[in-house]
Amino acid sequence: MQPPARLQAAIEILDRVLADARAGGPAADTAVARALARRRYAGAHDRRAIRDLVFEAIRAFGDPPPSGRAAMLALAEGPRPELATLFNGSAHGPAPPDPAEPRARTGRAPAWLEGMLAESLGPQAEAELAALLARAPLDLRVNPLKGARPETVAAQLPVAARPVTGLPLDLPHALRLDTPVPLAQHPLVQAGHVEVQDAGSQFAVRVAGARPGQTVVDLCAGAGGKTLALAADMAGQGRIVACDTDRRRLSAMRPRLERAGALPVVERRLLDPGREQEALCDLDGAADLVLVDAPCSGSGTWRRNPELRWRLTPPRLDRLLALQLRLLALGLRLVRPGGRLLFAVCSVLDAEGPAHMQRLAAEGRFSGRAVAIGDMRRLTPRRHGCDGFFIASCEVA
C-alpha cells in the first residue's frame, strides 16, 4: 500500500472506532483488528503502520473528533506535518483538505473532565496525564499453581522479560515485557503457566492478602484475572465465589480456570443487576475476604484503552459512582466480623476512590456494619509503571 492509501484506511477505521464509542460497541483494539482483517490486501508492514496511526490519533484527542478525517487533518496541521502531503486526492488516498472543513481539538482529556483530573492528580497532573497516554508494556503473572517459575517462563518467551519493580510491595510472580507481543496462542498461556495481567491488578490482589482455606468473594470478577490470582495466593485451597452480572464473561472464565488449575476452588455465580443481594444471601457475614473491583471510568487504563475517554460522560460517571457505593455496601454485608474488604478501581479520579472512603470514614458505619479504613494507595503509570489504581482496605467489626 502507498502512504496515502494507508492514511485513508486509518481514517475509515477511526470512523468505525468513533461510531463504536458513541454506540457502546467493542473496544478500539477489537475494532481495529477486525477492520484490518477485512483488508486482506494489506501486508504486515501496512497493517502495523495503519494501526499505529489510528492509535496515535486516539491518544491525541481527549474529546471525540468530528470524524476520522478531521482527526488526521488536525495531526497533519500539528504534530505530524508530514501527513499533509498525503491528502493529495490520489486514487486510494484522501482528498485534498478544504480550509472550511472541521478540525479536531487536540488534548489529553475530555474538556469536561480536565478540572477533576487536575484536582485528583495534583501538581504533577500534566506529567501524570502524559504517562496515562503513553504506550503500556505487557505484564504477565506466572502461575505457581502449575509450578511455574518466573525465571523458567522468561527463558521461554519470544522477547526479553524482566521482574516488575517500582511498586510498594514486591510482586514475586510478575514479569514485564517492554516490547509487547501477541501471546494468546503461546504454549505457556495455553498450558496455564502464565496469564496476561497488569502489575497494578496483581498488586491489588497482593494487598488483599488471601490465604489458603479462606472463603473469598470476588464480587465483580469480570474475565477472572483477579480470581485466578486469588486462587494462586490461596494455593488452591479454600473457596472463591466469583460473581458477575454478565453471563458471557462468567462462561468465558471457565477455560481459564481449567488451564490454571483453579477450577476446583472457584464457584462462578451469576447475579441479576440490582438484585445481587438475593443471590448472595447465603454468604451474609460469612466471607473472610471480599474483593470489590468495582466498575469505573477506567481512567487508569487509558494507556491500553485511550478511546475510553470518548465513552465517558458526566451522566455515565454519575451512574458509576452510585453503582460503586451500592457494591461497596453489598460487599460489606458479606464480610464476617473481623474480616476484610478490599475496594479497588482502575481510576485516578478522587470521586471514584478517596471520596467513597471519606464518606465511609465519616459515617463510621455502612450497610449496618462498623468499618475501619485501613491502608489506602493510589498507583499511577508515572510513579509506579503500572495502570492507574485506587486501592483501599476496610476492616469490618
pLDDT, one tens digit per residue, over 374-386 is 999 999 999 999 9
pTM, two decimal places: 0.93
Task: Please report the pLDDT score of residue 369 as a whole number.
Answer: 78
Mean pLDDT, to the nearest integer, of 167-191?
94
Mean pLDDT of 384-397: 96
Biggest CA pair distance of the chain: 71
Whole-angstrom distance, CA of residue 44 vs CA of residue 26: 23
pLDDT tens column, 34-64: 999 998 888 889 999 999 999 999 999 999 9
How many percent of the chain have pLDDT more than 70?
A: 99
How far the first Cα of the chain sits from its last, in Å, is: 65
In this predicted structure, what is the pLDDT of residue 274? 83
Q: What is the mean pLDDT of the chain?
A: 95
* Domain-wise residue ranges, the chain: 3-107, 208-396
- Report whether 200 contacts 379 (CB < 8 A): yes
* Residues listed for the chain: 397
Q: Write out pLDDT tens, residues 299-357.
A: 999 999 999 999 999 999 999 999 999 999 999 999 999 999 999 999 999 999 999 99
Q: What is the average pLDDT across 254-274? A: 95
Assess contact for 391 and 341: CB atoms under 8 A: no
Task: Tell me what percent of the residues of the chain surpass a pLDDT of 90.
Answer: 90
85-119: per-residue pLDDT in tens? Answer: 999 999 899 999 998 898 898 899 999 999 999 99
Q: What DSSP letter does each residue of 6-27 carry, written as one string?
A: HHHHHHHHHHHHHHHHHHT-S-
CA–CA distances in Å: residue 149 to residues 137, 141, 171, 190, 234: 20, 10, 13, 16, 17
pLDDT band at 229 (very low <50, low <70, confident <90, very high): very high
CA separation for the pair 223, 200 (Å, rounded): 16
141-150 residue pLDDT tens: 999 999 999 9
- pLDDT, tens digit (0-9, with 9 covering 90-100), for 237-253: 999 999 999 999 999 99
Cα-Cα-Cα-Cα dihedral of 254, 256, 261, 266, to 10°? -40
Q: What is the pLDDT of residue 40?
A: 83
Q: Report pLDDT for 368.
A: 74
Phi (first) and psi of residue 209, to 5 degrees: 70, 35
Instruction: Say if residues 352 and 325 touch (Cβ distance below 8 Å).
Output: no
* DSSP calls for 363-382: HSEETTEEEEEEEEEEE-HH
Q: Which of 243, 296, 346, 394 is catalytic?
A: 346
Q: How many whole angstroms separate alpha carbon 241 and alpha carbon 282? A: 12
232 or 370, higher pLDDT: 232
* pLDDT score of 13: 97
**61 DSSP assignment:** B
Q: Do the Cβ atoms of 344 and 366 come closer than 8 Å?
A: no
**What are 181-198's pLDDT values in tens digits?**
989 999 999 999 999 999
Q: With bands split at pLDDT 50, 70 and 90, how would you rate the model's confidence at 362?
A: confident
Confidence band for 277, pLDDT divided at 50, 70 and 90: confident
- Whole-number pLDDT of residue 208: 96
How far is the C-alpha of 230 from the C-alpha of 239, rounded, in Å? 10
Interior/surface letters 157-194, b for 16+ CB within 10 angstroms, e for the rest: beeebeebeebeeebebbbbbeeeeebeeeebbeebbb
Q: What pLDDT is stored for residue 41 in this prediction? A: 84
Active site residue 346: yes
Q: Using CA atoms, how far apart are residues 189 and 140, in angstroms rounded to an integer?
A: 10
pLDDT score, position 326: 93
DSSP class of residue 107?
B
Is the confidence at residue 364, as pLDDT, over 80? no
Q: What is the pLDDT of residue 363?
A: 83
Question: What is the pLDDT at residue 351?
Answer: 98
Q: Cell digits for 387?
A: 495502570
- Cα separation, 85 vs 88, in Å, equals 6
Arithmetic mean of pLDDT, 66-70: 96
pLDDT for the residue numbered 311: 96
Return the CATH number of the domain spanning residue range 208-396: 3.40.50.150
Q: Higher confidence at residue 364 or residue 309?
A: 309
